[in-house]
Amino acid sequence: MALQPGMLVEINARERILPLPGEDVEMEPLDFSAVKAQLVEFDREKDKWIVATFGGVSVAIEEPLLRPLQADEVRSYDFVFGPKSDPEIMGEELAKRLSERGYAVLKVFVADKDAANVVETAKMLEEEGKFSRFAGEFEPGYLGRGGVGKTLHVDPDARESPASIVESKIKTMDETFTSIMQMVQPYTMENLGFDIYSRTNLMLRLPMLDGDDDRYPPADIDDVEAEQYYHLMMRKKLTVLQFVGPSEGQVKLVPRKDLGEEVVLKAEPHTVLLFTGRFDYMHSPDDASLSLSTFFLEQPAVWSLDTRITGNVDALGMMGAGPPAPNGEQVAVFSIYCREGGGSEGKEQYWNAITAATDGLLEVPVIRWDHIEYYDPNSEAGGSYTRHGCFGIEGVDLFDCKFFEISPAEARGMDPVQRQVLEVSYMALAGAGWDKKHLQRESQNIGHFVGIDKDDWMYIGGQVSDVSGGFGASAAANSITSNRFSYSLNLKGASMTIDTACSSSLVCLHVSKLHLRNQDFDPMPACIVNGCNLMLSVGPFIGCCGANMLSHEGRCFTFNDTADGYARGELCSAIAIRRKPYTEGGMACVAGTQANQDGRSASMTAPNGPAQERCIQAVLRETGLSPAEIDCLECHGTGTALGDPIEVGSVRKVMAGAQRTEPAIVTSSKSNIGHGEGGAGLAGFIKCCEQVMHTEGCSNVHLRTLNPHLDIEGFPCHMLSEKILMREDSAYNGVSSFGFGGTNGHGEAWGKNIETSRGCGQQDAYSAFNKKLRLAPPAEITMNGDDVEDWETTGMPAVIEQGVKYQVLLDEDGIATWEEVHEEEPNYGDEFYVIGTHNEWEPDALDRHPSINGLWTGSITLSATGEECVQIQADADRMKTYHPTMRATLKSTEIKGPEEVSQDFCWVIRGSPGETLEVEWFQQGKTMSINWMRA
């Protein structure tokens, strides 16, 4: 017999042979005498077959040393699942075998060393106290009849999984279960009558040993777990067990309902057992053998609500749908003022600009510098290859020094950044209720935090103004930028300038929140947070172009396939935050913030995805939110080739772990206003506040074709190219900001729609009922024995046949009770009559057709008008009238009945005056039709 790849063989090597190099393979000769294996491929250079042994070792063997296996030599397995097994053929045959006899045994290729690693990991997890017992009522479902054991559910891909699991071979065995599911999935409907929708997390099981009863008492049951268990067991279609060892055991398959014979199988290490719902099982492991299991599940029940909702609909509480405000002590935003790209002055203009998808970038204005002197599009002379930026603030040289009680002599040498911070921070301060007049009389312990990362004035100030003399030291010092505002307005709270590069202003927000929360000794009633960036010199353009950081096209092509770097932008933004409830006049809530550092990365300036993930996860933990509750994500999104894919990848890993009902909205303001560098983070947070205050998501400008390097597999999201409305009247919106030195920041805003009329309207009763139903507490479960099919629930059935109707009753406590509606077959009638204007609505009997069951015939004569209105009546009873859904001349109009109805709902039959027409009526169950024709 000619050898072929995939064939099962026996190796009969007389001498020890060195295995092929591989992960965790010890490179020493091994005994391959009488070893079963599968052919992988023929190596023509070595003139040998590459084979994989059942023990998971690859080796090159000469053909004379290989003997094809006969069927009876592997009859203890139904299938051998190796590296060259054809998944399509095996999947179809596996489904057929499960259909024929209800179970199948697979031999999987597992190295003894890998199995030992999994057993060792399980024992280590047990020593760490990770294992536990199910409630006694749940053990039969998870562990089989009479099953008792210690268990642990693991998900090797979950972020919270300990390193001992992630770094072990448990992940490899978990992937085997997934491969088996994907292999059999396409063939289950045809052979078994169901589709596989998903699988459960991997469960590790160890037997109870002497002394374990006291250490592992059965768990208690609560209503939530009981309902989850009931739904899981009802959805379970295939049970899959893998026996890891180290020793053998026994499995007995017991036919359910006592139909058929029991099947006794060896629980041999490195085998997988699949069986359908025909069987329960009893597993008797030897010693402390480990087994793994999972369930393949069908789709959960899917239902849709009828629009007819009756009862006290006012009790549904139909105002203000959406997630509630953050729990606990709140820090709210009470004022916003900003100067952004596109000439936006104030939050209203900024909102109008970003909702209109404004591109705020333009060529460098001559009033700043003559950029032609430095423009070097081909990077030949060490100049700037870009000539665009978002010069969003006009008149940076203008300043009302008298208002802030600064002398003209000092003002002339002041850094324009200080001027902008003074003006914009004051607008935010005044918007929160403090003005200069009152503050000069009575100081307030208000903090001021400024995020900036550039100091252009230090390099050009001397060229345009005299910065020497008594004011020179404070003219451009970054520390003075924040301190000058506190001094001018008589504010005595913490005042500091923070520079963490591009994350500066978002880190300021985090630090200011911490100061507000610290009320122990010198509490502050409010903080002003400011982020500013001005472009006063060509120097940063030349420097960034030298590092190839800027876009050649002069735009931030965030998420687009043309992303080639960022475009610089200038802005100045400020918000006033207070430690007060949102309900006392707040615009939005600072739901949570966090800052962290990359530590060691590929380089000091390279983005670090895991660090970004940790930063976002920390905010989710602070707010108590799951990823599915975040409606919108404002990304750092500078449009760089490296940064965008890393950021989106980290967001995906955080967000993809939860089941979403709506895709997440993904935006970035840098496509509108460029990268504001040190001030960018706060500008992004302000956009988050605006979006939740309107419950709308703004578009990303220049997004035409998605960047192919963005990994959004398994992450349902909308990277917007146009504005959309959010799903409800309140929302959470997060923003990330990353400094090029590795300092990351993330902030989460919550707000209600307080800006549009949509936020004032009531929900319809349908939406309110649907929401209440989703939030209903767990149902009452009546446990009738070990068989879950005998259990009863007052809640939603785990499996619903298509078309079956339920009546759902919601009480004042939100408890939902589901009752199946058994619709009685209506009394269609025994005899049929035609009534209408031709006989003054008196019944005329129709004749039963002699050969066609359900067909009745009669005739009418048209009056002088040539038009008659008719209905069909059963048993001469007006309560059993059949009629069209409207006054109709078409025979195909939908028919309703039998019921009492007005004469207005009738068929209009037209013809010649005095003409006789034959009327035919057909009725068989719910099938009805009417016809008329010339006699």
Q: Catalytic residue at 675? A: yes
Q: Is the peptide bond before 255 cis (omega within 30 degrees of 0)?
A: no
* 509: phi then psi, degrees, rounded to nearest 5: -60, -45
Locus of tokens 């990823």? 627
- Report how far residue 279's alpha carbon sits from residue 407's, in angstroms, rounded to the nearest whole number: 91
- With vertex at residue 328, the alpha carbon angle to CA 323 and CA 334, rounded to the nearest 5 degrees, is 75
User: Exposed, middle or buried by CB within 10 Å (0-12, 13-18, 19+), for 44?
Assistant: exposed
User: Exposed, middle or buried by CB within 10 Å (0-12, 13-18, 19+), for 130?
Assistant: middle
Q: Using an 8 Å Cβ cutoff, are 298 and 196 in contact?
A: yes
Of 590, 589, 670, 610, the C-alpha closest to 634 is 670
Q: Under DSSP, is residue 854 helix (H, G, I), strand (E, B) or coil? A: coil
- Report how far residue 484's alpha carbon sits from residue 474's, in angstroms, rounded to the nearest whole number: 9
Residue type, 38: Q
- Report how far residue 488's alpha carbon sits from residue 525's, in angstroms, rounded to the nearest whole number: 18
Q: % helix / strand / coil in the chain, to the nearest 5?
A: 30, 30, 45
Q: SS3 letters for 229-288?
A: HHHHHHHEEEEEEEEEECCCEEEEEEEHHHCCCCEEEECCCCEEEEEECCEEEEEEECCC
Do strands 895-899 and 881-884 pair parallel, antiparallel, or not at all (unpaired)? antiparallel
Contacts of 692 (CB under 8 A, 6+ apart): 588, 631, 632, 730, 731, 732, 733, 749, 750, 751, 752, 753
Q: Which of 231, 371, 448, 636 is catalytic?
A: 636
* 525: phi then psi, degrees, rounded to nearest 5: -75, -25
- Report how far residue 754's alpha carbon sits from residue 731's, in angstroms, rounded to the nearest whole number: 12
User: Exposed, middle or buried by CB within 10 Å (0-12, 13-18, 19+), for 64?
Assistant: exposed
Q: How far is CA 71 from the centre of its chain?
A: 48
Q: Which of 270, 515, 675, 702 is catalytic?
A: 675
Q: In Å, what is the CA distance from 110 to each residue of 26, 57, 59, 82, 383?
A: 15, 9, 15, 10, 61
Q: In Å, what is the CA distance from 418 to each residue of 347, 397, 406?
A: 21, 11, 12
Q: Phi-psi region for residue 839, left (φ > 0), alpha (ψ -120 to 50) or beta?
A: alpha
- Report how far residue 933's alpha carbon sits from residue 930's, in angstroms, rounded to the nearest whole number: 11
Q: How far is CA 757 from the centre of its chain?
A: 29
- Report how far residue 315's alpha carbon sits from residue 812's, in angstroms, rounded to the nearest whole number: 7
- Report how far residue 61's alpha carbon sits from residue 48's, in angstroms, rounded to the nearest whole number: 5
Q: Using an 8 Å Cβ cutoff, are 577 and 510 in contact?
A: no
H or E stretch at 896 = strand 895-899
Q: Which of 502, 615, 632, 906 is catalytic?
A: 502
Q: Outline where DSSP puts E strands in 355-433.
A: 362-363, 388-389
H or E stretch at 530 = strand 526-533
Q: Using an 8 Å Cβ cutoff, are 649 and 609 in contact?
A: yes
Q: Catalytic residue at 527? A: no
Q: Using an 8 Å Cβ cutoff, are 563 and 715 in contact?
A: no
Do strands 149-154 and 236-245 pair parallel, antiparallel, or not at all (unpaired)? unpaired
Q: Catalytic residue at 545? A: no
Q: Which residues are catalytic?
A: 502, 636, 675
